[in-house]
Amino acid sequence: MVSLSVAVILYEGGLNLKIRELRDIGGVFFRLITIGVAMTWLVSSVAAHFILHFEWPAATLLGAILVVTGPTVVGPILRHLRLRGKVSALLKWEGIIIDPLGAILAGLVFAIVQSRASRIGFGTATMSLSLTIFIGCIAGSLAAGVLIVGLERF
C-alpha cells in the first residue's frame, strides 16, 4: 500500500513538471541534485556516526535515505509561501526528481552494506540491483505506453 501511495504521489508530481522551466533552472537544478545530494549524504552520514554513534554502514545508509526531500514536503510549503518564478520551479523539480534518485541511492547503499554483511560479494549485489532497476524501467515504460495509448484513445 505504501509503495502504491508513493507511486501515485510521484506520478501526480510528475504531471506538474514543465520541461520549459528546466531551461531556466537547469544549471542550478543539476548542481542541487548532484553536489547537494552528495553533501547531504556526507554530512548526514558523518553526523549519524559521530552524534548518534551508528556504525559506518548504518550511518551511510541513513545518510542515503535522508537525501530525499519529496514532493509531499516541498509542495505544501510552496503552496503556503506562494513562491513564484524560478525559485518555485527549482524547488518543485528538486522535490519530485530527488525521490527516485534517493531511492536508487539508498538501494545501492543497502545492497553494498548487505553484500558486505552476508559476504555475497559486491558484484552479485550490484548485478541484483542493476537487474531490479532494469526490470523496473521496462515495466515503467510498458505501463507508460499503455497509459499513453489509453489516454489518446479514450
Q: Give the start-to-end residue ranges of the domains of the chain.
A: 2-98
pLDDT digit of tens for each residue in the chain (154 aa)? 777 776 777 777 777 778 888 888 888 999 999 999 999 999 999 999 999 999 999 999 999 999 987 666 776 777 788 777 788 888 888 888 888 888 888 888 888 888 777 777 667 777 877 888 899 889 989 999 999 999 998 8
Q: What is the pLDDT of residue 63?
A: 95
CB atoms within 10 A of CB 150: 9
Q: Check if the beta carbon of residue 90 is closer than 8 Å to that of residue 32.
A: yes
Closest CA to 22 of 86, 100, 99: 86
Q: What is the pLDDT of residue 116?
A: 75
Q: CA–CA distance from 33 to each of 58, 107, 142 (Å)?
A: 23, 17, 27
Q: What is the pLDDT of residue 70?
A: 67
Length of the chain, in residues: 154
Sole residue written with cell 544549471: 27
Sign of CA dihedral 28, 29, 34, 38: positive
